[in-house]
Structure formats: structure tokens, C-alpha cells
Amino acid sequence: MSTDSMPSVSVEGKTAVVIGGTRGIGRAIALGFAEDGADVVATSRSADAVERVAEELRERGAATAEVTCDVTDADSLETLRDTTIEEVGDVDILVNSAGTVAQSPITEMTDEEWQQDIEVDLTGVFTACRVFAREMDAGSIINISSMSADQAREARAAYCAAKSGVNGLTRAAAADLAPDIRVNAIAPGFVKTEMAGPKLDDGSEFRETVDERTPMGRVATPDEMVGTALYLASDAASFTTGEVITVDGGYDDSAQ
């Protein structure tokens, strides 16, 4: 293959929707796509957060729309889709990055905590995939999973179950939507985000354990998830679907 025919790892000229795009990994991906030349709609339930990120996107030259969205509400997702198409353009890329985590041991976890994680972290991803795929002629869907889908985490039963479900959903959706829509997932390791909270602060006992078990010797920043998202969203990944790509610095949960 000549270099002239090599596909580009770029999203320039594409339109992306990033659900959960106003903080953490989602925000980093939204801004990264905009820097690369995509038009981007970044959404969450907070109107103030949506407005702030929309301004950041415009500063990077991206066309955008300010739309709040609740992933547990199919009508809200349909409004997001329709508004994006009307105000920005047909959607080429969907990133499902909205997330929550209940932090209770299984014997103390309430039904409400369990249901919240499942509804946001799993059912919301399913509903968004269904809603957007109905109006996507082609493109890429990227689900944000977690390495916790395959590793035990104390006091995270609902979160681990939901992320395991995301991985299975990703593979099944990839089969259903091929060949025109590709569906993949990114499974981050420990990333210093707002949702991670103070447990990953420098000097904490938990952080020291994580660093010791990670060959890279540190946790990730949200920006370090952008490269994988760019690849999966771009034409360079034209034959990549149904995959879960772990980005965890080589983390080994069994390391002592």
C-alpha cells in the first residue's frame, strides 16, 4: 500500500456528539475532536456545564449546539440527536461517556444505588446507541467502558456489572450495525477525573498502591484517552469494530 492511500487518523470535517462531554474523559475527547477539526456537540444534564464547554469548542473553531441531555430519558436523547442534525449536521461519531458510580459494599448497596448505575452506565449507552444509529448512515460509536469490567473492585458491584454489560453491548451492537456503523469501546484504567475523587490524589495510600501496580508508575490524565478515541472515530479504524481497547498503563491487579 502506498503512503498516498493510507487512511488518516483524523476527524476533520466530521460531526461528533459526546454524551457526558462536559467533564473528565468526555470533555477531553470533545475538545480533542474539536482541535482536530471536527464539529462537536458536548452534552450533559447541566445547562451551565454545556454552555461552558460549548464556548471552549467554539474557541477551537468547532460548530456546536447547546443541548442538555439525560441519558436515562429516550426523548431527551432524541432531542439531542435531532437538534444536532438540524443545527450542526448529520452525526458521524457518537461517544457515550456519561457515567456514575455507587460506592457501597454489596451488603449495604441500596436498590436505588444499583439501579442508578445500571440506568446511566449501561441502559443509557444502549438507548443512545439505538437512538443515534437509527439516523446514522455510517460512522463510529465509541462507548467508554472501564478496566473494572474485567477486574474486581471493592464496593463497586453495580459499576463493575454495568461496565461488563457495556463491553457485551459493544460487541453485539457492532454485529448488528455492521458494515456501515462501527462500534467499539475504550476501557480506561485509573484516570484522575472529578468522578475519581480524592482517592487518586498524590500521596494518598490508594494512589501509592495504584502507582506500584502500574508499570507506567502513575495514573492517566483524561487527555491520554483522546488518541485512542481519535483512532476509533477516524477512517484509520475502518476495519475495527466490536473491540474493547484497554488504556491502563499496563495495570496489574495481581501485582504485590
Would you name the residues annotated as active-site residues? 159
Residues 25, 144 contacting (CB under 8 angstroms): yes
Tell the residue number behind the cell numbers 477525573, with chain if given.
193
Q: List, in sequence order, the alpha helices (H) in 36-156.
A: 47-59, 74-87, 111-118, 124-133
Angle at the Cα of 167 from the Cα atoms of 161 and 171, rounded to 5 degrees: 145
Q: How far apart are CA 128 and CA 80, in angstroms?
A: 10
**Nine-digit cell at 121?**
452506565
Q: How far apart are CA 173 and CA 65, in angstroms?
A: 27
Residues 6+ apart with CB under 8 A from 126: 169
DSSP class of residue 123? I
CB burial readout 49-76, b (16+ within 10 A) else e: bbebbbebbeebebebbbbbbbbbeeeb
